[in-house]
Amino acid sequence: MITSNNKQWIDKMRVLSLHGLSHDAYKRYSVKHYRSYECLIPGFKYNMMDIQASLGLPQLARLEKNAKIRKKYWQMYNDAFRGIPEITLPSEEEKDTYHARHLYAILLSLENLKIDRDKFIDKLIKNNIGSGVHFNPVHLHKYYRQTFSFKKGDFPNAEFIGERIISLPLGANLTVRDVQDVIMAVKKILEFNKKKMTLKSRGFSVPKDFSWRTQEQS
Long-range contacts, stretch 116-120, CB < 8 angstroms, 24+ apart: 116/163, 117/163, 117/164, 117/165, 117/166, 120/166, 120/189, 120/193
- Report pLDDT for 22: 80
Cα 10 versus chain centre, distance: 26
Rounded-to-integer distance, Cα 184 and Cα 189, Å: 9
- Kindly list the structural domains of the chain, giving each domain's residue range(s) and its CATH number in brackets, ordered by start: 7-47 (no CATH), 62-193 (3.90.1150.10)
Cα dihedral: 213, 214, 215, 217 (round 10): -60
User: 157-177 pLDDT, tens per residue?
Assistant: 999 999 999 999 999 999 999
Rounded-to-integer distance, Cα 87 and Cα 133, Å: 15
- Report pLDDT for 107: 97
Instruction: Decide: helix, strand or coil at residue 203.
Output: coil
- Report pLDDT for 201: 52
The parts of the chain modelled with pLDDT lower than 70 are 23-35, 197-218
- Report pLDDT for 213: 42
Angstrom distances, CA of residue 138 to CA of 109, 131, 162, 198:
22, 20, 9, 36
Look up the pTM and report it: 0.75
- Report pLDDT for 208: 54
Rounded-to-integer distance, Cα 197 and Cα 202, Å: 7
